[in-house]
Structure 1
Amino acid sequence: MVFSASNFLFFFLPIALSVALFAKPSAFRPSLLVLSLVFYYWSSDTYVIILVADVVVAYLGALALDVCGSTRSRNAVATSAVVILVGILVFFKYLDFIVMNVDLISGSKLPMKFTGIVLPIGISFFTFQALSYLIDVHRRAIPAEPNVVLFSTYFTFFPHLIAGPIVRYRDVVEDFREPKISLASFSVGATRFAHGLMKKVMIADGVAPIPDAIFAAPHDSISFISAWLAAAAYGIQLYFDFSGYSDMAIGLARMFGIRFAENFKRPYASRSITEFWRLWHISLSTWFRDYLYIPMGGSRHGRIATYRNLLIVFAVTGLWHGASWTFLCWGLFHGLFILGERVATGRWPKVLEKGWLRYVYFLPVVTFSWPLFRSTSLEQAISLWKAMGLPGAADAFSLDAVSPLATTSIIALAIGAAIYVLPGRLSFGQLLTSETIGDRLYIAGACYTVVALVVCQVVALSGGYTPFLYFQF
């Protein structure tokens, strides 16, 4: 079930809101827990068992940590729980990739024994939530939650369950204990949800046919301009798809009185790859910072160790997105540029603060990285890169691959590209959902919400929407 689908908007969501918001306070969390499990079962069928297993491991593991007296026993419990959680993730997400590469080296024919493993939706997101909770309890940053219903409700809460953001227990537990339900909060949440829906349905799905057509074309037929168009269009599609989902998740949570942190802050307005990763998928980048980069030593042990740690983090970041060499190389690509920026910053501290760097450095580099993320193989990515580097080739400015596309795709691309390129920091969505808006903007937000829901449903009912891209991660 996706947030932009009619069965969610007109069936599940009204029931969920009615049950959770009009139930007695004592029934709020139990009803929300049941609704979230129903949502995930509807989306993933029997794979809800994997979600429940992660809840049990995280809950019982944390309780065991709280009663362990010695450091050795605490470490043993934490290690066991982490191994179980990571083992489940590896089995469903990475085993096929591991086996295929072992087979390439050994010729063992192992892939024949590991076919048909389906990736449960959202497993990367809820596994990382479980890991952060256990690690925080192990570090004594938070106590273990004894209330199984409260913990399970937090863990399975359907707005963030299948595509994030990665919500840490310590950041939202007070809202789950005392949800901030009010008409103002509901209104802000509804507008934020509608804005995310517009980003997804009208821009991301509108732009999608452009990269789809070019990436599906024969590799040797893609022109210079088509290759750059495919990379830029996919960057626009991915941003509006995933930030749209994050807006919808944040808005839905606010409607239930739960506050999530921002997951995107206009990342394409960055001037460097370092700044980009402070503003793009913030819940993931901060997770890796707090639970991988800093524990490895961060930048505390000299330049060589810092560079090593950065490359490891970005290699893992790439693999988090998928079990593929393309994702690994995409992560390392970003890691190498961040490493280079650290070297440059050390010698010329002000160099990465120049606004013009956005156009001559950051946007070209980040656009150049997207073929790795979108391609199904390294060969396809390399063929796109070759085309992107040949402006003088024959038919370099041919757009034959996208000539049959609908006008709506061109309009969506133009709107997305304007936001992609324009330097302004003002966000229309944040303006509409500001906590301090005046009466005029409050009315404008309400009107925008109604219009957005109607327009998006007309498009959705015509079959003009696709599943969220981050469902596959």
Structure 2
Amino acid sequence: MVFSSLFFAFGFLPVTVVLYYLSGKSLRSIVLLAASLFFYVWGEPVYVLLMCGSIMINYCIGILLGRDDAGRRKKRLFFIISLVFNLGCLAYFKYLGRLPIGISFYTFQTLSYVVDVYRGNIKPQKNPILFALYIAMFPQLVAGPIVKYADIESQLAGRSINFEQFSSGMRRFLHGLGKKVLLANQIGLLWSEVKAMPGTEVSVFMAWTGMIAFALQIYFDFSGYSDMAIGLGNMFGFRFKENFRYPYIAQSISEFWRRWHISLGSWFKEYVYIPLGGSRAGKLKLMRNLFIVWFLTGLWHGASWNFVLWGLYFGALIGIEKLFLQKSMTRWPKAARHIYVLLLVVIGWVFFEFTDLTEGVNFLRIMFGMGDNGLIDNQAIVKLKAYAFIYMVCILAASPWLKIRGLFFIRMDCNIYRLAANMYYCALLFILAAYMVSSTYNPFIYFRF
């Protein structure tokens, strides 16, 4: 079940909200857990047993790690058992078998929980319902953001919500759904057309036009899902951290990754990079640590060499910035830094998108004019004209410009603003429903991970 489906938006979600708020406070966690399990069963009826097994085993290990009478050696043994089980399941099902939806995300949540209990940073959750809800909660179950237990521990125990928080969550959900349905899906059509073309018919201009379209598609696809997850969390009394902060306005590759998929970057920083020594142990170990982190980041996305290459590509760029470019880049014009980031990021998406390395290398060759494809052709101009409007809208929406303009209008008379806002959200809901009814193109890129 995806958030951008009619069944979810007009069936599952309204029913879940009504049942949740009709239940007493003591039953709301059970209702939300039951709804989350149904949500997962709808898409993965077999692998829900795997997730439930993971929940039970990590719950028990957390309890054992938190016991005062457990010695250091026993705790270390329990901790190793948890690592072997969690990483073993992830490796087996993701890299050797069929990919269960969301396994990368909920495995990293269980790992962070066990590590934090082992370190003594948090106390184990003794209520199995609340622990299961932390892992299986449907808003962030299948594609994040990756939520640390410490960030929502108090919210699991007791949540209070008011009308403003609920309505804010609804608005955030609609914005995310708009990103997905109106922007990602529409610009994604352009990339799907370009990718389906024979390589001999793709001009340099067409290749860049298509790959930039993919860069916009994956941003609105994933950030839209994150917005919907955060909005849904608000509707049920949870506050999840932001997962995207306009990454395409970054002035360096390092900054780009501080703005893109923030929860994943934070996870690797806290549980891998810093324990390895971070940047404190000299340049050689810095490069080693970056290599390990970005190798694992690529591998997290899939057992394919293109993802490993994609991860190492960005790790190398960040290493170069830290060792050589960081100081000199501050003297570059902002426009130059921005172009530098966008150029390298778009090239990086080629490695990400083409699981066949040969196809990816051939596409890069076309992008840089290494062949007889030509600089531009009539077909490229026709496609650009057809998608010009959605292209411009996506570029604007990928920057904070529209948000700043929105804040300007909020300063208008409150009654006028409320009326305009209500009309806007009603119109947006109507348009989204119309698109979901009529459209058959509704992929979700990060369901692969």
CA separation of 1:207 and 1:346: change in aligned 2, threshold 3 A = closer
Partner of 2:403: 427
Partner of 1:247: 227
Displacement after TM superposition at 1:442 (Å): 4.4
CA separation of 1:404 and 1:148: change in aligned 2, threshold 3 A = same
Partner of 1:411: 389
Distance in 1, Cα, partners of 2:407 & 2:138: 26
SS in structure 1 of the partner of residue 15 of structure 2: helix
Partner of 2:303: 323
Distance in 2, Cα, partners of 1:426 & 1:463: 26
Percent identity over the alignment is 38
Q: Does 1:397 align with 2:376?
A: yes
SS in structure 2 of the partner of residue 45 of structure 1: coil
- 1:345, 1:351 within 8 Å by CA — same for their partners in 2? no
Distance in 2, Cα, partners of 1:324 & 1:429: 42
Q: Which amino acid aligns with 2:12?
A: F
Partner of 1:28: 28
Q: Does 1:59 align with 2:59?
A: yes
Unaligned runs of 5+ in 1: 96-116
**Which of residues 206, 209, 215 is equivalent to 2:189?**
209
SS in structure 1 of the partner of residue 44 of structure 2: helix
- 2:177, 2:225 within 8 Å by CA — same for their partners in 1? yes
Partner of 2:283: 303
Displacement after TM superposition at 1:440 (Å): 4.7
Within 5 Å, give how 1:49-448 maps onto structure 2. Answer: 49-67=49-67, 69-95=70-96, 117-345=97-325, 348=328, 350-351=330-331, 354-390=333-369, 395-398=374-377, 400=379, 403=382, 407=386, 409-420=387-398, 424=400, 427=403, 440-448=416-424
Distance in 2, Cα, partners of 1:82 & 1:48: 20
- 1:269, 1:425 within 8 Å by CA — same for their partners in 2? no
Displacement after TM superposition at 1:321 (Å): 1.2
Displacement after TM superposition at 1:94 (Å): 1.0
Q: What TM-score comes out, normalization by structure 1 length?
A: 0.89
- 1:2, 1:467 within 8 Å by CA — same for their partners in 2? no
Q: Which amino acid aligns with 1:411?
A: F
Distance in 1, Cα, partners of 2:176 & 2:157: 27
Q: What TM-score comes out, normalization by structure 2 length?
A: 0.93
Displacement after TM superposition at 1:431 (Å): 5.1
- 1:126, 1:161 within 8 Å by CA — same for their partners in 2? yes
Higher relative contact order (CA 8 A, sep 6+): 1
SS in structure 2 of the partner of residue 427 of structure 1: helix
Distance in 2, Cα, partners of 1:380 & 1:159: 35
Distance in 2, Cα, partners of 1:428 & 1:22: 38
Q: Which amino acid aligns with 1:175?
A: Q
Displacement after TM superposition at 1:197 (Å): 0.6
Distance in 1, Cα, partners of 2:93 & 2:371: 45
SS in structure 2 of the partner of residue 119 of structure 1: coil
- 2:243, 2:259 within 8 Å by CA — same for their partners in 1? yes
- 1:344, 1:351 within 8 Å by CA — same for their partners in 2? no
- 1:299, 1:306 within 8 Å by CA — same for their partners in 2? yes
CA separation of 1:405 and 1:50: change in aligned 2, threshold 3 A = farther
Distance in 2, Cα, partners of 1:56 & 1:155: 11
- 2:396, 2:402 within 8 Å by CA — same for their partners in 1? no
Partner of 1:100: none
Displacement after TM superposition at 1:177 (Å): 1.7
Displacement after TM superposition at 1:69 (Å): 2.5
- 1:214, 1:401 within 8 Å by CA — same for their partners in 2? no
Displacement after TM superposition at 1:193 (Å): 0.4
